[in-house]
Amino acid sequence: MIQTESKVEIQTILDTFGIQEINRGASTGSYWLHTRGEKVDSYSPVDGKLIASVSSASESDYEALVLKANEAFKEWRLVPAPKRGEIVRQLGDKIRKYKTALGTLVSYEMGKSLQEGLGEVQEMIDICDFAVGLSRQLYGLTMHSERPFHRMYEQYHPLGIVGIISAFNFPVAVWNWNTALAWVCGDVCIWKPSEKTPLTAIACQKIVDEVFTENNVPEGVSCLMIGDAELGKILSKDNRIPLISATGSTRMGKAVGQTVGERLGRSLLELGGNNAIIITPSADLKMVVPGAVFGAVGTAGQRCTSTRRLIIHDEVYEKVKDALVKAYGQLKIGNPLNENNHVGPLIDVLAVENYKKALKEAEKEGGKLLCGGEVLTGEGYESGCYVQPAIVEAKNQFSIVQHETFAPILYLIKYSGSVENAIKIQNDVPQGLSSAIMTNNLKEAEQFLSCSGSDCGIANVNIGTSGAEIGGAFGGEKETGGGRESGSDAWKVYMRRQTNTMNYSDHLPLAQGIKFEL
């Protein structure tokens, strides 16, 4: 196990991925542009230490990436999809080789637990496996024509360049959710990762470089550029980028969606969540407590699927509340690379300030703090990014409850009567990502999953809100953006659909029996 106190060990990880030069901020695949933009420092929230620095990409660097990506697309789209899938298969194998190193770097640069860092890398492996099979299943449809001796069908073609804007909380998996599918579909990708986690992005590009070089993949199929929000705006405005996939806050997503929409481009938006678990009288407390606690404190509450609200029936409210407060008292907070700890740091001190502001606002609106709420200081907490996960009694209509705070704050909300009342409370927020119900009542479970039940993109029964499996499409409704990534038929967003009609007769009959005589 790598301890962050040992700078030598972290340097070994950086050396594994060749992260040494500070003037590399953009890459077209096997070639790295030596940029001279503003320096981006990556500090670890684990111990507050500078890990490494990179230079951000300039507008001229961006232009070079787009031109190279366009050229690569012309060649890459002609490679048969199963052959593209074979290269993605090799990428999955290469990621397996680097799983420990990459997972450790994710944990140290972002702050999530080592187990979660390794789990995120495993998601990369899983989506590669999924994409390999998909490369032989990019199915269209055939339809019967109303005209004799005609055949109708539809097929899918690659879009071109896919622009990817990713967030700090899942610095590698979400990128690979997009790239693995886009690449087997025949697209090429330009990635702008969060400026808070540039080193994990460089590590991923290094891994891709190895596989692409071994297979003579055209330079420009995988492009990386390090930079701030301005670089993301340039990407979003570019008419040469048919699809922008953006993960982040609702505020950011609205800006991206508007910009891309103005040029009639496509956007795939994965935005904020305000996820709730409904706890009914028949719920099994042995399942409620671990599901709610992990959902609320995992990744220090910095998942888009983190549990923000517990909607608890008044018959079991006190019992659930007491059990949760007791469980929170057992949480170990500290270095996420120490597997004995449950909770690591927030990403930076700005996130800590937002945590403090949210708790003050909840108290101002009438909320009651039950436990937690402190910023931790002293030995082991030198970065200033460690906080105590908090539980607050609140009401759903509180303004602060209606908004997503990216921090470990769990709001307890009481309901009475039927499950319809709880569902109404759950749905009464602007976001619609993940939801869950804990119940042993079949009718309640089915009602929760019905068209009059949860309005979220993800609805679970007797599991929490946090996390997702590769096989299912991931995404949400309302202010969550409506996008879908990963499994199921999410691949279709990376392609353009074309309807084809073929006439193999000696005549030209028109549709709907129209006569047009010359």
How far apart are the C-alpha atoms of 211 and 224, rounded to whole Å?
16
Q: Are strands 390-393 and 32-34 parallel, antiparallel or unpaired?
A: unpaired
Query: 26 phi and psi, to 5 degrees?
Result: -150, 145
How far apart are the C-alpha atoms of 436 and 277, rounded to whole Å?
5
How far apart are the C-alpha atoms of 13 and 479, rounded to whole Å?
38
How far apart are the C-alpha atoms of 280 and 438, rounded to whole Å?
6
Query: 127 phi and psi, to 5 degrees?
Result: -70, -30
Copy the structure tokens of residue 283: 């719920």
User: Could you tell me the sign of the dihedral formed by the alpha carbons of 111, 115, 119, 125, in that order?
Assistant: positive
Copy the structure tokens of residue 152: 């109708």
* Secondary-structure percent of the chain, ordered helix, strand, coil, rounded to 5: 40, 20, 40
The size of the chain, in residues, is 518
Give the burial class of 384: count Cβ atoms within 10 A of its Cβ; 0-12 exposed, 13-18 middle, 19 or more buried: middle
Residue from 185, 204, 304, 385 carrying the catalytic annotation:
304
Q: Which helix (H) or strand (E) holds 414?
A: strand 409-415
Instruction: Tell me, yes or no, if 304 is annotated catalytic.
Output: yes
| Cβ atoms of 112 and 162 closer than 8 Å | no
**Residue 439: left (phi > 0), alpha (psi -120 to 50), or beta?**
beta
Instruction: Tell me, yes or no, if 270 is annotated catalytic.
Output: yes
Residue from 270, 404, 479, 485 carrying the catalytic annotation:
270
Active site residues: 270, 304
